[in-house]
Structure 1
Amino acid sequence: MRVSLRLLRYFAATAETGSTTAAARLLNVSQPSISVAIRELETLFEEALFARDVGARMTLTRFGVRKLAEARHILGAATAFEVDKSGDASAGEVQIGVFRTLAPVYLPVVLRMARERYPKLSVRFVEGDLAQLEDWLHGGQIELALTYDVGMPDDIERELLAELRPYGLLPAGSRLARRKGSLSLHELAQEPLILIDLPHSREFLMAPFWQFGLQPEVRYRATSLELARGMVANGLGAALLITQAPASSQVTAVVEKPIREDTVRQPLVIARTARATRTRASELLAECVRAAVEEAKIQRA
């Protein structure tokens, strides 16, 4: 039996969605055809691609992770080769992962730019935390990621887009919000803190306080930027944040204040594995990511 692109697409879709049923819906084919394709590949390799637990999500075996990365490279190369009849090199498909708190700010702009500039470019995306993005890059589920550079291993290449400074988010009616000028970490540490509670993020956002020997009271923990901003808007506390809210969701119930002290900055990067194939489609999308970040810089200025 020869391995076809169809089998590889079925395998990749199953790995991405976690089940043959979801993969079938994604690809608009029957569920049995997906199951048969997985069995054919496992018979060919004489090794399991997935660990199967009754009622649980299908997870890749260590062998499956390696084969998925290879499959992604082959499918990416095939997509780059399959240009349309006019020879338009801007056609193709690309998978990107975006850090969860960054997605509302940048992803809509990236998708708009990609649609306007490259209408035949198909963009698929997933949101995740820092650890998930790293796993997806290594596993080949995504070709590139828009994320923060926090503790990434050496085999992941990073292209620096911006260095973001932390800022304080305060209820609009509070004493600190009404006062002119910047905000001191010592002042912010006296307020009940609403902390973004995601892997690596929580430590990074506490680091500026620790740098100056401060230990604020964490009143609430949130896993999304929107929830944290909503809690601050309702007077439940203050927050130290890195990610700016998208311009479309700015509300008058909160006030952003620059931090007075010179403290840590967060590198915003495009991340890829060093061994990843840089397809034409991924390069076009990376161009849109760069443009979206630059647009955000101009708007914030």
Structure 2
Amino acid sequence: MSSAIAELERILGRKLFRRKTGHGLEITAAGRQLLIEARTILSAAGAIGAERSPAGEIAVACFRDLGAIYLPRLLTGYAATREGLSFRILEADLADIRGLILDGRCELGLTYDTGLERGDLKTTCIDRLSPHVLMPKSHRLSGRSSVALDDLKQDRVILENYPSTISFFLPFLARLGLSDRDCQMVPSFEMQRSLVANGWGVGFSYARPAPDLAHDGAELVCRPLRPAEPGLDVVLVHLGTQTLSPTAQAFLKFVQARSTG
């Protein structure tokens, strides 16, 4: 059986199963897509060769701070003209996105173009974001069009407690004479925004949901840093050495047609 699976994967150019020591085989996103296609062919043999819009399941890994900002519009926009489309979304930290793509659990990933160790990974730029400071509406600097880091030395800094997020902003903290141990650490982007909006401190972020409201309705203000800091690209990533399923290929083309990069 294992040799037959290996031969099928070789012929198709897709990883259909993930081998887990002591746990047998687990089907990948590409394997699920192949199963959907096989069942469709068997149940509608008369339609073989007929043109149809690619439909099926798309498995997408996304960085937790970006997924809700970009994926819903892209997925529903793509699905609007394709019946039978479904999707599976896995949220993860930046460090985990690469692994989810390489081991076949997801065919596509939405993340920042950083720490990917490109190799066989291919990217499509969706957006470019610049860092900004988050402040409560009542903050003394909220009326300014931009904010210098030096003006924030008296403020408490609120930071997401994820290794990737901490590494992004360590240079900013160093210029304030701080380390991550001096910050108010929080478990999520939403908690950071809510604490900022309610006056507990300031924060830094690249992502900016709309509108500038916390979950509890409190207002916050987002201002670019002065001088301007280097930005980060938001990308859709896939494994270039693996043949994407027809559904994933069509979705990727849909995104590329709307790409700003």
Q: Percent identity?
A: 23
User: Aligned in 2, Cα 1:130/1:286: closer, same or farther, shift over 3 Å?
Assistant: same
Task: Tell me the TM-score normalised to structure 1 length.
Answer: 0.68
SS of aligned partner of 2:185: strand
Matched to 1:255, the amino acid is V
The answer as to 2:16 corresponding to 1:50 is no
1:275 to 214, 227, 241: 241
2:165 to 183, 201, 210: 201
What is the distance in 2 between the residues matched to 1:293 and 1:237?
35
The structure with more strand, counted as a fraction of residues: 2
CA contact (8 A) 2:135 2:196 kept: yes
SS of aligned partner of 2:249: helix
Q: Deviations over 1:40-85 (max 9, x none)?
A: xxxxxxxxx4345xxxxx6x8xxx6xx86xx554554564574774
Matched to 1:50, the amino acid is K
Matched to 2:239, the amino acid is T
What is the distance in 2 between the residues matched to 1:199 and 1:213?
19
1:260 to 226, 235, 246: 226
User: Aligned in 2, Cα 1:189/1:105: closer, same or farther, shift over 3 Å?
Assistant: farther
The runs of 5 or more residues in structure 2 that have no matched partner are: 10-15
The runs of 5 or more residues in structure 1 that have no matched partner are: 16-48, 53-57, 295-301
User: Aligned in 2, Cα 1:108/1:275: closer, same or farther, shift over 3 Å?
Assistant: same
CA contact (8 A) 2:198 2:218 kept: no
CA contact (8 A) 1:106 1:292 kept: no
CA contact (8 A) 2:112 2:234 kept: yes
Matched to 1:102, the amino acid is L
CA contact (8 A) 1:110 1:292 kept: no
2:135 to 148, 170, 173: 170
Q: CA deviation at 1:213?
A: 6.8
C-alpha RMSD of the superposition = 3.3
The answer as to 2:200 corresponding to 1:230 is no
Q: CA deviation at 1:200?
A: 1.8
| Structure 1 residues 103-142: aligned runs within 5 Å | 103-142=67-106
What is the distance in 1 between the residues matched to 2:103 and 2:35?
19
Matched to 1:164, the amino acid is L
SS of aligned partner of 1:112: helix
1:144 to 99, 108, 111: 108
